[in-house]
C-alpha cells in the first residue's frame, strides 16, 4: 500500500494546501483503494478528510504554545512529534508499504533521514519550496543552519523528489542535490467536478451583474503575498478607459479584505452599488468552490497578479482559470509559463504596475478570445486531479522498480 502523510492547515478545506491534499487523496483512493492517509486532528474537530478515508492521529499541538512564545520552531517540534507518531503506526505493517509519500518538510526530513531507512521503506518527498524560502520559516538567527539542514536532508536523502515545477527540478540538479532522473514533475491541478466551462451571461444574471460591464476577477483562499493591492491600483487606472469596470476579489481573510476595502475607497471605487461610471470593487468573503466558480464564469478576464513562490509557483487558481477558458493575466515566471505558453496569456514583468495595467487592458480588448479559450481548456484537461494521482502512482512504481 501507499502511505500518504500530510499536515493540512485546515481540516475543513479553508486553505489551498488542504484542498490540494483532499482532492489528490480522493483520486488516489479511486485508483489505489488501499492508500493509507495519515492526517493530524485536534480533539474531535470537524474534518472533511473523513470523506476520503483518512486516518486521523491526535495532533501533538505543540505549535499552540506559540501564543505564549511566538516561534515557528514550536511547529517544527510538533511536526517532528507527528512524524514519529506515523512511524509508530506504520512500523508493524512496514512490509506491506510500497512507499511513504510526504508533503510536509519536517516530516519529510525525519522520514527521509531516519525513519524510512530504519523501517526499510522508500520515501517520496513532494517539495513545494525550500524551507529557507518559506515566509513562515523560523526567524531566529541561530536557526538558519537548521533550515538548510532540513532542506538538505529532505531533498537529498529521500528515495525521490516530486516537484511542482521543472524550474525547481533544474535547481536541485544545479545545486548538486539530485540527479534530474530522481526528480519527478507533478504540477498542481484543478477539480474537474467543480470548475467547468459556464455561460458568461447566465452567470452574470445569476449574480445580478451588468450584462455588458467589463469584469476582472481574482479568487484565492488568502491574499497575503499575492499583490492584490497592485491589481486594485491597476484596475483604478483602467477606469479611465472603462468607467464601468467591475473588479471581483473573492476569498481572503477578514483583515485582508478590510485593507483592500479601504484602498478601494481611497481610489474612488464603489462598494457594489454599481453607480454609473464609478466602477465597482466587490470583495467576496470565502465561499464554497461551487459558488466561487460562478463569479469566475461571469468575468471577462481572470488575473494572477503575483505568486508566493517563484521557481515552485504552481497555484491551484492557474489550473482552475485554464479550465474556465477566459483570457489570463499572469506575471512572467518560468514556472507559470511551463504550463501556459506566452501566446495564451497576457503577461507583465513581476510587480510592474504599468505592465500589469497594460496586460489587463490588452486582455479586456481581446475578450472573448474563443480560439485561445479552447486551447487553454485543452491544457487544463492534462491537469485534473485524476491525472495528478496517476502521475504520483507512476512515481511510486518507478521507485519500487529501483528498489528491486
pLDDT for the residue 203: 96
Residue 275 has pLDDT above 70, yes or no: no
Contact assessment for residue 326 and residue 300, using Cβ atoms and an 8 Å cutoff: yes
pLDDT for the residue 178: 97
**Cβ-Cβ contacts under 8 Å for 132 (sequence gap 6 or more):** 144, 147, 148, 151
> What is the spatial distance between Cα 163 and Cα 179, in angstroms, rounded to a whole number?
13
> What is the spatial distance between Cα 133 and Cα 147, in angstroms, rounded to a whole number?
9
CA distances from 158 to 44, 73, 114 (A): 33, 23, 10
User: What's phi and psi for 70, nearest 5 deg?
Assistant: -75, 110
Residue 277 has pLDDT above 50, yes or no: no
Contact assessment for residue 185 and residue 160, using Cβ atoms and an 8 Å cutoff: no
Q: Taking residues 39-55, what's their average pLDDT? A: 95
> What is the spatial distance between Cα 196 and Cα 191, in angstroms, rounded to a whole number?
9
Contact assessment for residue 256 and residue 227, using Cβ atoms and an 8 Å cutoff: no
Beta bridge partners of 270: 280
Average pLDDT, the chain: 94
Residue 276 has pLDDT above 60, yes or no: no
pLDDT for the residue 279: 78
Q: Taking residues 146-164, what's their average pLDDT? A: 98
Residue 237 has pLDDT above 80, yes or no: yes
- Helices 316-324 and 370-380, packing angle to 10 deg: 130
Residue 274 has pLDDT above 50, yes or no: no
Could you tell me the three cell numbers for 85?
Answer: 507518531
pLDDT for the residue 386: 97
Look-up of cell digits 496569456: 345
How do residues 84-137 score in pLDDT, each as one tens digit?
999 999 999 999 999 999 999 999 999 999 999 999 999 999 999 999 999 889
Cα torsion at 154, 158, 160, 162 (round to 10°)? -30
Residue 357 has pLDDT above 60, yes or no: yes
Instruction: Name the band, by pLDDT with cuts 50, 70 and 90, for residue 269.
Output: confident
SS (H, E, C) the chain: CEEEECCCCCCCCCCHHHHHHHHHHHHHHHHCCCCEEEEEECCCCCCHHHHHCCEEEECCCHHHHHHCCCCCHHHHHHHHHHHHHHHHHHHHHHHHCCEEEECCHHHHHHHHHHHHHHHCCCEEEEECCCHHHCCCCCCCHHHHHHHHHHHHHHHHHCCEEEECCHHHHHHHHHHCCCCHHHEEECCCCECCCCCCCCCHHHHHHHHCCCCCCCEEEEEECCCCCCCHHHHHHHHHHHCCCCCCCEEEEEECCHHHHHHHHHHHHHCCCECCCCCCCCCEEEEECCCCHHHHHHHHHCCCEEECCCCCCCCCCCCHHHHHHHHHCCCEEEECCHHHHCCCCHHHCEEECCCCHHHHHHHHHHHHHHCCCHHHHHHHHHHHHHHEHHHHHHHHHHHHHHHHHHHC
Q: Taking residues 224-248, what's their average pLDDT? A: 94
How do residues 300-355 score in pLDDT, each as one tens digit?
999 999 999 999 999 999 999 999 999 999 999 999 999 999 999 999 999 999 99
CA angle 130, 307, 78 (to 5 degrees): 40
Residue 404 has pLDDT above 80, yes or no: no
Residue 271 has pLDDT above 70, yes or no: no
> What is the spatial distance between Cα 316 and Cα 354, in angstroms, rounded to a whole number?
26
**What does the radius of gyration of the chain's CA atoms come to, in whole angstroms?**
22
Residue 1 has pLDDT above 80, yes or no: yes
Contact assessment for residue 247 and residue 283, using Cβ atoms and an 8 Å cutoff: no
Amino acid at each position: 500500500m501507499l502511505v500518504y502523510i500530510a499536515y493540512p492547515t485546515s481540516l475543513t478545506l479553508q486553505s489551498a494546501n488542504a484542498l490540494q491534499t483532499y482532492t489528490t487523496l480522493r483520486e488516489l483512493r479511486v485508483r489505489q483503494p488501499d492508500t493509507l492517509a495519515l492526517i493530524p486532528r485536534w480533539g474531535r474537530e470537524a474534518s472533511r478528510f473523513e470523506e476520503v478515508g483518512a486516518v486521523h492521529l491526535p495532533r501533538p499541538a505543540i505549535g499552540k504554545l506559540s501564543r505564549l512564545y511566538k516561534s515557528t520552531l514550536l511547529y517544527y517540534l510538533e511536526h517532528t512529534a507527528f512524524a514519529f507518531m506515523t512511524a509508530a503506526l506504520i512500523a508493524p505493517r512496514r512490509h506491506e508499504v510500497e512507499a511513504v509519500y510526504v508533503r510536509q518538510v519536517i516530516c519529510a526530513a525525519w522520514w527521509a533521514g531516519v525513519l524510512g531507512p530504519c523501517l526499510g521503506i522508500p520515501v517520496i518527498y513532494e517539495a513545494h519550496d525550500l524551507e529557507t524560502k518559506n515566509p513562515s520559516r523560523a526567524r531566529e538567527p541561530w536557526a538558519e543552519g537548521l533550515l538548510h539542514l532540513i532542506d538538505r536532508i529532505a531533498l537529498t536523502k529521500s528515495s525521490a523528489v516530486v516537484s511542482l515545477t521543472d524550474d525547481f527540478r533544474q535547481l536541485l540538479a544545479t545545486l548538486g542535490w539530485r540527479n534530474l532522473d530522481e526528480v519527478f514533475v507533478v504540477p498542481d491541478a484543478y477539480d474537474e467536478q467543480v470548475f467547468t466551462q459556464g455561460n458568461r451571461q447566465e452567470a452574470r444574471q445569476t449574480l445580478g451583474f451588468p450584462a455588458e460591464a467589463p469584469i476582472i476577477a481574482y479568487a484565492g483562499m488568502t491574499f497575503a503575498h499575492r499583490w492584490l493591492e497592485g491589481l486594485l491600483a491597476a484596475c483604478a487606472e483602467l477606469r479611465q478607459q472603462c468607467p464601468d469596470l467591475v473588479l471581483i476579489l473573492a476569498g481572503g481573510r477578514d483583515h485582508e479584505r478590510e485593507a483592500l476595502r479601504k484602498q478601494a475607497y481611497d481610489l474612488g471605487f464603489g462598494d457594489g452599488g454599481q453607480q454609473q461610471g464609478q466602477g465597482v470593487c466587490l470583495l467576496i468573503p470565502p465561499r464554497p468552490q461551487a459558488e466561487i466558480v460562478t463569479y469566475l464564469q461571469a468575468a471577462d478576464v481572470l488575473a494572477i497578479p503575483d505568486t508566493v513562490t517563484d521557481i515552485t509557483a504552481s497555484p491551484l487558481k492557474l489550473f482552475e482559470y485554464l479550465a474556465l477558458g477566459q483570457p489570463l493575466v499572469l506575471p512572467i515566471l518560468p514556472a507559470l509559463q511551463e504550463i501556459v505558453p506566452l501566446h495564451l496569456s497576457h503577461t507583465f514583468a513581476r510587480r510592474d504596475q504599468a505592465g500589469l495595467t497594460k496586460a489587463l487592458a490588452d486582455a479586456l480588448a481581446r475578450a472573448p478570445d474563443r480560439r485561445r479559450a479552447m486551447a487553454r481548456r485543452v491544457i487544463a484537461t492534462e491537469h485534473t486531479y485524476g491525472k495528478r494521482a496517476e502521475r504520483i502512482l507512476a512515481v511510486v512504481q518507478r521507485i519500487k522498480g529501483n528498489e528491486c
